[in-house]
Copies of this chain bind each other. A is one copy, B any other.
Amino acid sequence: MSKQEIAFGSSGGCCRPISDAALDPVAASEGAAVFKALADPVRLRLMSIIASAGDEICVCDLTPLFDVSGPTISHHLRVLRDAGLVDCERRGTWVYYWPLPERMAWLSTLLSVPAGAGAGN
């Protein structure tokens, strides 16, 4: 278990939109690490399937949905878990994954646009 989870919020406020205040280098590194977890087509789809499942979902139900090997799915799930986006539990032979909405909500807030932000348009 190489649990090297991403620490976030350690630099203070974790829930302020970036259009509200610029990130310092430390916060940017933390945020980028979580975005990186979603920056792969397989992982983003995995995340969306797990998040929309409405309930925990078995790895055995996830794997056949993809064209990549089992070990690759396992690898991607670990990345999502290290990013704090999902968690899992072994129950018998099977392993079940569920979403951690807090981390997703955090990213969502980071990217939220207060009202009429942005000068350009």
Contacts and interface: CB of A to CB of B under 8 A. Distances in A.
Contacts of A41: 25, 28-29, 32
Interface residues of A, number: 51
B35 A38 contact: yes
A23 B21 CA distance: 31
Copies of chain A in the complex: 2
Contacts of A25: 41, 45
Nearest to A36: B39
A19 B51 contact: yes
A6 interface: no
A19 B104 contact: yes
A70 to B, nearest CB: 18
Which of A36, A49, A113, A120 is most buried by chain B, counting CB atoms within 10 A of its CB? A120
